Amino acid sequence: MTIERGKRWSHALIAAWTVAIVAFLYMPAVCGLLASLTSSRYFNFPITKWGLAWWGKTFASLEVRALLSTSITIALIVTAISVVLGFFAALAFARYDWRGRSIYQKIVLLPIFFPQSVLGLALLLWFSALGIETSWKTAVFAHLVWVVPVVTLVISIQVYSFDPALEEAAFDLGASRWQVLREVTLPVLWPGLFSGALFAFLLSWGNFPLSLYTDGADTTVPEYMYAKMVAGYTPGVPVLGTVSTVGAAILLLGGYAFILLVRRARAGSETGAP
């Protein structure tokens, strides 16, 4: 009885601690949601007048639509390129043993540890020295410098658990290198590739320092939100913040659920279950 009571207390304490941590992390997002649901220009609590007027005004704004288009374009391009580069970089990072591999691993991960503002300033000076005019295209390059190492690390986690004997067996059965890549390597590593794509999109979407230094006259959603918070506040800021937070949560939870469903489907097909 004493042991069972102790287990119940420990489970209750763990659950309470988990709820407290989650509430601490997401309380700012809840405040942003509440601020977006008021009909007044400035946020006052308790809210006296509720409404969705600012949601309609925000998404009816041509400026906001242009911001969303720019941010989505940058994030999608960064995602596509970083997954391809991160896949091959992860194979060299974790799959093969070659001279200089340890130095390569350190160099690949080094940009992660740079302050993004310093990295953005260095890239801006580099673009200026080369005579390249900054725009959303240079922002894509800047994001890749920081995002590709993260994606490489995420995919490498999956690569470390990859059994090379699977590829060797395919080669022994007469498969070409392209067939092995398409039918063995990619299907085994796809959870890591999918996770890397999610990380790349969200990190690029929410990146402020690199975009601030390298996108020139173009503007992304984080830059717009910062500018409006510094001067000329509008309730469109918490609207966009809520959209970013909820969208990120949906992507992550939806992606995790998708991976689980695919794994269950594969496990069912392997065991012959319906």
Please choose, from the candidates 44, 147, 156, 46, the residue with its C-alpha nearest in 3D space to the C-alpha of residue 93: 156
Do 40 and 147 lie in one domain? The reply is no
Given a contact cutoff of 8 angstroms between Cβ atoms, the answer to whether 79 and 201 are in contact is: yes
Helices (H) and strands (E) in the chain, counts: 12, 0
Confidence of residue 81 (pLDDT cuts 50, 70, 90): very high
Lowest mean pLDDT among 30-39, 68-77, 211-220: 30-39
Closest CA to 201 of 85, 82, 79, 86: 79
Q: Do 165 and 63 reside in the same domain of the chain?
A: yes
Give the mean pLDDT of the chain: 84
Structure tokens at 256: 């995790």
CATH of the domain at 228: 1.10.3720.10
Angle at 124 between CA 123 and CA 128, to 5 degrees: 115
Asked whether residue 104 falls in the same domain as residue 166, the answer is yes
Residue 16, in any domain of the structure: yes
- For 86-110, the pLDDT digits (tens) are 998 888 888 777 787 788 888 888 8
Same domain (yes/no): 135, 42: no
Q: Is the pLDDT of residue 274 over 90?
A: no
The reported pLDDT for the residue numbered 272 is: 55
Residues 33 and 153 reside in one and the same domain:
no
Residue carrying structure tokens 């990619």: 186
Provide the domain count of the chain: 2
Range of the domain at 15: 10-50
Q: Is the pLDDT of residue 4 over 80?
A: no
Confidence (pLDDT) at 189: 84
pLDDT at 1: 58
Q: pLDDT band at residue 269, thresholds of 50, 70 and 90?
A: low
SS3 track for 175-225: CCHHHHHHHHHHHHHHHHHHHHHHHHHHHHHCCCHHHHHHCCCCCCHHHHH
Q: Both 19 and 125 in a single domain?
A: no
Residues 171 and 100 both lie in one domain:
yes
Same domain, 35 and 117: no
Which residue type, as a one-letter code, is found at position 14?
I
Spatial separation of the C-alpha atoms in residues 171 and 4, rounded to whole Å: 55
Percent of the chain with pLDDT over 70: 92
Residue 248 domain-assigned (yes or no): yes
The better pLDDT of the pair 43, 186 is held by 186
What is the share, in percent, of the chain residues with pLDDT greater than 90?
18
Alpha helices in 97-135 (DSSP H): 101-109, 116-130
Q: Which residues contact 206 (CB under 8 A, 6 or more apart)?
A: 222, 244, 248
Q: Specify whether 110 is located in the same domain as 158.
A: yes
- 128 token code pair: 């200026």
pLDDT at residue 3, as a whole number: 67
